[in-house]
Amino acid sequence: MADRSFLTWPFFEDRHRALAEALDTWCAAHLPVDHSDTDAACRALVRMLGEGGWLVHSGATSGERLDVRSLCLIRETLARHDALADFAFAMQGLGMGAVTLFGSAQQQEWLSRTRAGKAISAFALTEPGSGSDVARSTATARREGDHFLLSGEKTYISNGGIADLYVVFARTGEAPGAKGLSAFLLPAETPGLEVVERIEVIAPHPLAHLRFNDIRLPASALIGEAGSGFRIAMSVLDIFRPTVGAAALGMARRALDEALSRVKSRQLFGAPLHELQMVQGHIADMALEVDAAALLVYRAAWTKDQGAARITREAAMAKLYATEAAQRVIDAALQLHGGDGVRHGMAVEGLYREIRALRIYEGASDVQKVVIARATLDG
């Protein structure tokens, strides 16, 4: 049973504790799902999460606001039970983050569908030649009267190929570099959207390389103001980077649970495995990593919920430490399982594959170090 004592920390209110307990009960009854068909599993998970009422927390319309502590608690809990369920939830939030924060009333009508699990969303920012360096994006949206012509490519797009709508970032040319980007809402059935390739990775998720072949978009597809795309993207990532740390935290907690079960039940050299001091040292390191990650994740979430305009430094710290720590915790758990740790189908083997991508997406670990350093130097 995962440690729940952190719910007594002053970061949380009673509603957060109730949310975590209710979701844990729901997860125990519904997860994991069958992963043999990744696309089908993701569609089923989005539908299940919508029907369960959990996707209500993934977006907000005018008069509402995202509660980042709730987002983090949900992602941590889902990731502890089933990493693909966490992915399905997270993409509904990240995919619609720009619409939640900056969308028009017309654009926010989509939220009634994504929050109900009746439409799948995606966030299309990364390009073949510009991953972490968003300012180098080359996809363009050229204004022609009351329309835009969208051209270019995006890659490693989560939910690519199964999404019902995409938030796409493209260059509109108001200024060089980051100041010349804009964000657009692109329904998947729009003519000219091409799925060039479905991308296979070590932990299967729906990913795709997309091409935009002079897609004709109405001016109403523009999210916020022209030229504000970089600010929109960074504002969305500011909120969702701590939740990546929360997902990593959930995986780390699961790994620690699996390790505890293993060392308490396994005999080695005529004694329980957990009596070996070297094993106790590993367990101590793992417990320390988990709590330190949790403190950083929920510090960032609490700070944003208290009304901070930006939490760039706190979000980067939470994302960096929690994902790196989870990698170490999971690796230690696998080592304590011995040969069984690398056996396909074992929980720690699956976690080992799942955690690796979290150190890359939404800003790779080295990029987070640059963000933290700059914020510290400027402070």
Tell me the catalytic residues. Answer: 362
CA pair distance 305, 66, nearest whole angstrom: 8
The answer to whether 253 and 2 have CB atoms below 8 angstroms apart is yes
Q: Which two tokens stand for residue 203?
A: 């932990």
Q: Which two tokens stand for residue 50?
A: 């919508």
> What are the residues whose beta carbons fall under 8 Å from the beta carbon of 374, sequence distance 6 or more?
none
The answer to whether 246 and 73 have CB atoms below 8 angstroms apart is yes
**Closest residue by Cα to residue 157 from 204, 131, 200, 122:** 122
Q: How many CB atoms lie within 10 A of CB 145?
A: 6
Q: Quickly tell me which residue has 């939030």 as its tokens.
A: 93
Q: Quickly tell me which residue has 């994504």 as its tokens.
A: 114
CA pair distance 308, 328, nearest whole angstrom: 31
- At CB < 8 A and 24+ separation, what contacts does 281-289 make? 282/332, 282/335, 282/336, 283/256, 283/259, 285/328, 285/332, 286/252, 286/255, 286/256, 286/259, 286/328, 286/329, 286/332, 286/333, 287/256, 289/252, 289/325, 289/326, 289/328, 289/329
User: Using CA of residue 285, residue 287, residue 288, residue 289, what is the dihedral sign?
Assistant: positive
CA pair distance 219, 40, nearest whole angstrom: 34
Report which DSSP code applies to 152: E
The total number of residues shown for the chain amounts to 379
CA pair distance 97, 114, nearest whole angstrom: 11
Angle, nearest 10°, between helix axes 83-95 and 38-51?
70
CA pair distance 227, 183, nearest whole angstrom: 8
